[in-house]
Amino acid sequence: MFHSIGDKSPNWNGWKLVLPAVSIGNVGQLAMDLVITTLSMKKVGYLHHESLQALCGNDALNSNSGITEGNLTIGTEVFEQADKRLVCVQQRVLFVKGKQAAFRRDLLEWIKTCGFTSVTVLTSSASHERIDCQLTGNPFRYLTTPSFDKLLGDSFEKTFDWTRLERRKDNWSGNHGNQSDITDEASGVFIPGGGLAAKLFRECCERDVALAVLLVFCSEGDNIPDALNLVQYLNQWLKLAEENSAGNAKGGPWKYPASWSLLFGREVDPTLY
């Protein structure tokens, strides 16, 4: 599944893994762009899987070269930051219809093989699907598997004052017709528009993987503010960027990648009018 672009396979035993879910507003992917660019992370390989659609384009991250050098970006790439013992996956493509389950299965095998201490999924959830208690206040929520709780306990709530995602009686991960095979930890987890997050959470509960899901409620549109919001929460925990460091003027310590200059296309040529 993982293919290294170096001479030898990296050793990530004891490192942390962060990856996005392709979700509403692409918030998780935008947040990953911010992390990878700000930390100047090194591209070390890519994920190749039959479930992932093909993509090849110009360098999306290098703010120095931008569109001039012709460095290639492909669908799902892997980056590392050795000083922080951090691995990040950036996924820019959708899944082939009916193949996501196979990807999740092989992804978990890769996670186990690499020996990551924890896995964090960045995602979003459709704001129009919120229940009453979610309509006001902070739009951020989190989920953790039992294995993750053994590592950190309830520090997310006590230290950071985060809110755990509320469970729903009428919905659960996977929308199965029978709840008998759903673990207590995963029952009632509903993340509409959240991509693979809910099902991966359920499978990590079953397979004893230390996983945290960080999400924000949002709608489609300009989702850069949502990505900045989400990555700030990630930063509270992992301490990736100094809050007072020089970065993008609008994004605090976070640096925008070169590709964001074309996020909404070029400005209209005024001579047209």
Distance, CA of 202 to CA of 187 (rounded, Å): 8
Number of structural domains found in the chain: 1
In a domain, 159, yes or no: yes
Give whole-number Cα distances, 63 to 59, 109, 154, 188, 248, in Å.
Answer: 9, 34, 38, 42, 12
What pLDDT score does 251 carry? 57
pLDDT of residue 70: 61
Burial class (CB in 10 A: 0-12, 13-18, 19+), 146: middle
Is 138 part of a structural domain of the chain? yes
Question: Which tokens is 139 given?
Answer: 């739009």
Which residue reads 């996983």 in tokens?
211
Predicted confidence pLDDT, tens digits, the chain (273 residues): 888 887 778 899 999 999 999 999 999 999 999 999 999 999 999 999 999 998 888 787 764 444 445 678 889 999 999 999 999 999 999 999 989 999 999 999 999 999 999 999 999 999 998 887 878 888 999 999 999 988 877 778 777 889 999 888 755 444 444 444 445 666 788 999 999 999 999 999 999 999 999 999 999 988 999 999 999 999 999 999 887 555 554 557 898 887 787 776 667 677 777
Has residue 130 been placed in a domain? yes
CATH number for position 19: 3.40.50
In-domain check, residue 34: no
Helix ranges restricted to H, 126-273: 146-152, 155-160, 197-206, 224-238
Task: Quote the pTM value.
Answer: 0.86
State the residue range of the domain holding 238.
Answer: 9-26+96-254
Q: Tokens 């129009």 appear where?
A: 128
Determine the pLDDT at residue 240: 92
Neighbours of 233 (CB within 10 A): 21
31 occurs within a structural domain: no
Alpha helices in 115-257 (DSSP H): 146-152, 155-160, 197-206, 224-238
pLDDT at 172: 44
Q: What angle do CA 112, 118, 119 make, to 5 degrees?
A: 85
Structural domain includes residue 261: no
What is the structure's pLDDT at 85?
Answer: 95
Is there a domain that residue 48 lies in? no
- Amino acid identity of residue 40, one-letter, is S
In a domain, 194, yes or no: yes
Q: What is the pLDDT of residue 109?
A: 94
